[in-house]
Structure 1
Amino acid sequence: MSVLIQNTPVAGRNRGNRTPENEGGTLGSNPARVLGDGIKGAFRIGQTAMVVGGQGVRWLRGDRHPLPRLMRDTFERLGATYIKLGQFIASSPTFFPREYVDEFQNCLDQTRPLPYAVMERILREELGTAVDTEFTRIDRTPLASASIAQVHGARLTSGEEVVLKIQKPGVSNILLTDLNFLYVSARVVETLAPKLAWTSLSGIIQEIQRTMMEECDFVQEANNLEAFREFLDRTGNTEATVPRVHRRLSTGRVLTMERFQGVPLTDLETIRRYSDDPERTLITAMNTWFASLTQCEFFHADVHAGNLMVLEDGRVGFIDFGIVGRIDPDTWTAVSDFMGALMSADFEGMADAMARIGVTREGVDVKALARDLSGLQQHMETVVPTDPQEMPDIETLSEETDDDVNELLMDLVRVGEDHGLHFPREFALLIKQFLYFDRYVHILAPEMDMFLDERLNMLH
């Protein structure tokens, strides 16, 4: 990984090469820090044991909720790592049983904000005197607070409005301790139950660790923003944009970015004030994302309405690049074929594409798979309605889309697994983004056919 921020001097202190990977200490680093991190790790394991033990006591006393609910409650009590793990489960019907994916839809990442004094301490550790010399205002009340970070509005001495994404204290150490513990546990389970090796529990934990540590590494998120901007410049795309990163004021635990002024992609009434053609604005957003699948090193893997903004000047703003996906050309071709077949209710085409996407130990009977997929037709029509009048109100679109999309994905994966198929996580990520866009089409451009409109370059 190329760390572009490395060796970039931060005003007051040179902290530009600090990332979650090296934050916790390595061989040859300060022995006191290594000892301190070891003590923190041991304390975290003890804390985890106490929470799990407490849940066990409640179970013995008769407080016996269904296992998925009990697990979600335990995860929420354990904090950051397990909340993110719960969200991973909720968004990964290709990996986990349906009842767990359903339950973990309720695993919210919004948390009570920490006092500004706590976050200011992180700011000063990372940026030093720049906190006093580079900013004229930092809002004490956060714009948002999640398990990993808080976001605060601020103003630079230049007068520019920015947002500060500040990592909460101790998060990376807790993540690494928890995930290493889970990985070792998964390996033990696989050793004791060899049949589970096909599901690759340890491999799932490794994928979770990669995803979560990337999200925790603000240097990587800054790199993602810069790479996406370079992709926009290289393709001559002036109608979409991403926030500019202030490298000199960003580190592994603080990300200083341009603040966008705009509205979510589904706010049709306001969009009409910013753009005289909302349909064209939507096409810009979709073509930008489709192009990134083949011309950028990654794709934005969470294009819900809050992460796609229409700015006051009419441009489309992509925000929050903590979660991205990567896909090889063959898989992308198969996913494109699958979506085309899904939209036209071509079940044999869907089955053929799923057989190419999935991993299997044996051959797949495509006709039998198609027959089983045809049983989902009514459910598919609720997610991909043909009548604009069937769409929910804009205010409930995002929530209902999440529920409907996840439920359909779980049904598709379940049918595939009944035929011996196991799917990469990117399959679920891609299909989910497609279905988001299909919903936006029904809101902003109900007459447009997502797969036949020549203005869309989805399959090119």
Structure 2
Amino acid sequence: MKLLAIRRLFRIQRVVIRYRLDDLLFALPLPWWLLSLRYALPWRWFPRKKLELSRGAALRLALQDLGPIFIKFGQILSTRRDLLPPDIADELMLLQDRVPPFDPELAVKLIEEQLGAKISEVFSRFDIEPLASASVAQVHAAKLKTGEEVVVKVVRPGLKPIIGSDLAWLFILAKTAERLSADARLLHPVDVVSDYEKTIYDELDLLREAANASQLKRNFEGSPLLYVPQIYWDWCRPKVLVMERIYGLQVTDLAALADQRTDMKLLAERGVEIFFTQVFRDSFFHADMHPGNIFVSTVSPWSPQYIAIDCGIVGSLTPEDQDYLARNLFAFFKRDYRRVAQLHIDSGWVPANTKLNEFEAAIRTVCEPIFEKPLKEISFGQVLMRLFQTARRFNMEVQPQLVLLQKTLLNIEGLGRQLYPDLDLWSTAQPFLERWMRERVSPKTLLRNLHSQVEQIPHLAGMTRDLLERMSQPHAKNQPLAVREPRDGWFLRLLGAGHVVAGALLATVGPLGSIGYWPAGILLVVGLYLIVRRS
């Protein structure tokens, strides 16, 4: 283990002791054997002075002292007011964009090193005092020589060693959990930490963030739902990003939003619509939508438009994941628990030998009490926590590729209920999902997918032919130099083409219930073989 990681562990321990985080932990309803651990902690053997901080402030300051990974965790928690006491949620909200800035002179030095030019050569005005400061970077207002008002984002210095040591401990904890607990293995903690490692390091590359912002802007070009600031590529570097300065109200400034008579119901519903549009239409979603990254335009409060910044973390889904999620949501809200259970089995989330009736009964036990409440009172956070309680019995596995999506959905839900407490998530999402499902099987979409499949046929045929030739090489000596093609060769090629087209159509339409995609695969393979065999 690296010395830096050991030093980091002692640093974490000091912060825990300083802010009495162990008191917060042992105040929870834990099992007796965990509560007994408090007697084994040496710093609890002696009297301690009373901490002159609220529990929320202590937690916020501790996360702040521990650095970007812990600050990110606090930012996620801050949006879950239905899961946190108000005093803790209020304090954690301060982590969104009020993290203490680093030395502005150091920021200027870093910017000049990245741009290869003096600040005065690039900007006609540069505000030395930061406009905002977050866990990974801080932002300064400026004006380009060409007259555009911009903001300059610069990455905090010295983050990689700290992140590396934190991740080292997270990997140790994840591997230990997988080794000691069968339940933990179902959650794939090592895979989850690996995904988070990639995400956090990607966030340190501002060129990647600039590219993500440009893509998101194209996806919502001209949309009344979302505006993404313009990126000035000439002045973007791995650790410096220059983009259009936006003017709007922070989404959590409820008083200011009320003063301009913002339609809060429409604002909350549009937030949900933006999320589902990104996930299902574009398969490219902003995965860091905490309140510090979201503003509301002041141009038309009766038709409010969101403004999104900080696109360092984005997610995407495969068509199979999209289809699975949509079908699950429909079945879930229709209380079709058998369908939910079957989808989990078909997707591989639970073993194929799981007894469908027992799994259906377990899901019903978890979900039915929730649906006794009005839909607007249903919390996805509570649903997810209760569903994971079935993991121990049915070996349900967490899919690491969906972790970002789950986090983003929780952020959106928490934000939406904060803006409009009566938000009905399902009634807002249902029309969009129904329209998306219809479009998936529309003739236009089927033809487009078929065209895409047909374009791949020559390539697949060539690959198959090469493979068959390699397989037949050991017997090549026994074959004649030339073989006359039978008179029915054209018929076999035509038959093969028919098989390929039928297989492509079947694969485009989707799986046949529990049968899956294998009939389409058989048709494609047989068709390609007939074509290649007679070529």
Q: TM-score, normalised by structure 2?
A: 0.58
Is 1:263 aligned with 2:249?
A: yes
* 2:410 alignment counterpart: 432
* 1:250 alignment counterpart: 236
Paired residues for 1:121-200 under 5 Å? 121-184=109-172, 186-187=174-175, 190-191=178-179, 196-200=184-188
Q: 1:87 to 1:200 in 2, by over 3 A?
A: farther
Paired residues for 1:381-392 under 5 Å? 381=375, 383-384=377-378
The one of the two structures with greater contact order (alpha-carbon pairs below 8 A, sep at least 6) is 1
3-state DSSP of counterpart to 2:246 = coil
Q: 1:249 to 1:455 in 2, by over 3 A?
A: same
Distance of 1:452 and 1:160 partners within structure 2: 41
| CA-to-aligned-CA distance 1:405-458 (integer Å, 9 cap, x gap) | 534432343356654323331452364366368649957998994255479845
Distance of 1:42 and 1:62 partners within structure 2: 32
The higher radius of gyration belongs to 2
* 1:392 alignment counterpart: none
Distance of 2:218 and 2:255 partners within structure 1: 32
* 2:481 alignment counterpart: none
3-state DSSP of counterpart to 1:228 = helix
Q: 1:383 to 1:207 in 2, by over 3 A?
A: farther
Q: 1:177 to 1:333 in 2, by over 3 A?
A: same
Paired residues for 1:373-412 under 5 Å? 373-378=367-372, 381=375, 383-384=377-378, 405-412=380-387
Distance of 1:414 and 1:195 partners within structure 2: 10
| CA-to-aligned-CA distance 1:181-224 (integer Å, 9 cap, x gap) | 43255446645667754443322221221121122222221111
Deviation, 1:171, is: 0.9
Kept after mapping to 2: 8 A contact 1:275/1:281: no
3-state DSSP of counterpart to 1:111 = coil
Paired residues for 1:43-122 under 5 Å? 43=4, 45-52=6-13, 55=17, 57-61=42-46, 76-84=64-72, 109=95, 110-122=98-110
* 2:388 alignment counterpart: 413
Kept after mapping to 1: 8 A contact 2:142/2:151: yes
| CA-to-aligned-CA distance 1:297-350 (integer Å, 9 cap, x gap) | 521224455544443455543322123222222222232233334555555555
Paired residues for 1:323-338 under 5 Å? 323-338=313-328
158-167 vs 406-415, which deviates more?
406-415
76-85 vs 273-282, which deviates more?
273-282
Distance of 1:204 and 1:80 partners within structure 2: 17
Paired residues for 1:312-391 under 5 Å? 312-314=298-300, 316-344=306-334, 347-348=337-338, 350-353=340-343, 359-361=349-351, 362-363=353-354, 364=356, 365-378=359-372, 381=375, 383-384=377-378
Question: In the comparison of the two structures, how many residue pairs are matched?
Answer: 391
* 1:301 alignment counterpart: 287
Distance of 2:295 and 2:129 partners within structure 1: 23
Distance of 2:130 and 2:101 partners within structure 1: 7
Give the counterpart letter for 2:361 in structure 1.
K
3-state DSSP of counterpart to 1:154 = strand
Kept after mapping to 2: 8 A contact 1:81/1:174: no
Give the counterpart letter for 1:225 in structure 2.
A
Distance of 2:405 and 2:260 partners within structure 1: 34
114-123 vs 304-313, which deviates more?
304-313
| CA-to-aligned-CA distance 1:268-296 (integer Å, 9 cap, x gap) | 99879999998887776655543332453
| CA-to-aligned-CA distance 1:384-410 (integer Å, 9 cap, x gap) | 4xxxxxxxxxxxxxxxxxxx5534432
- What are structure 1's unaligned runs of at least 5 residues? 1-37, 93-97, 385-403
Q: TM-score, normalised by structure 1?
A: 0.66
Kept after mapping to 1: 8 A contact 2:220/2:227: yes
41-50 vs 204-213, which deviates more?
41-50
Give the counterpart letter for 2:385 in structure 1.
M
Q: 1:269 to 1:302 in 2, by over 3 A?
A: same
Give the counterpart letter for 1:421 in structure 2.
M
Distance of 1:406 and 1:77 partners within structure 2: 27
| CA-to-aligned-CA distance 1:136-176 (integer Å, 9 cap, x gap) | 22223333222222122222222222122221110123212
Distance of 1:347 and 1:290 partners within structure 2: 23
Distance of 1:73 and 1:268 partners within structure 2: 25
3-state DSSP of counterpart to 2:428 = coil
3-state DSSP of counterpart to 2:108 = helix
Distance of 2:254 and 2:90 partners within structure 1: 27
Kept after mapping to 2: 8 A contact 1:283/1:456: no
Paired residues for 1:29-48 under 5 Å? 42-43=3-4, 45-48=6-9
Greater helix proportion:
2
Distance of 2:370 and 2:426 partners within structure 1: 24
Distance of 1:104 and 1:282 partners within structure 2: 19
Kept after mapping to 2: 8 A contact 1:266/1:444: no
* 2:202 alignment counterpart: 214
- What are structure 2's unaligned runs of at least 5 residues? 18-40, 440-535
Give the counterpart letter for 1:58 in structure 2.
W
Kept after mapping to 2: 8 A contact 1:360/1:421: yes
337-346 vs 239-248, which deviates more?
337-346
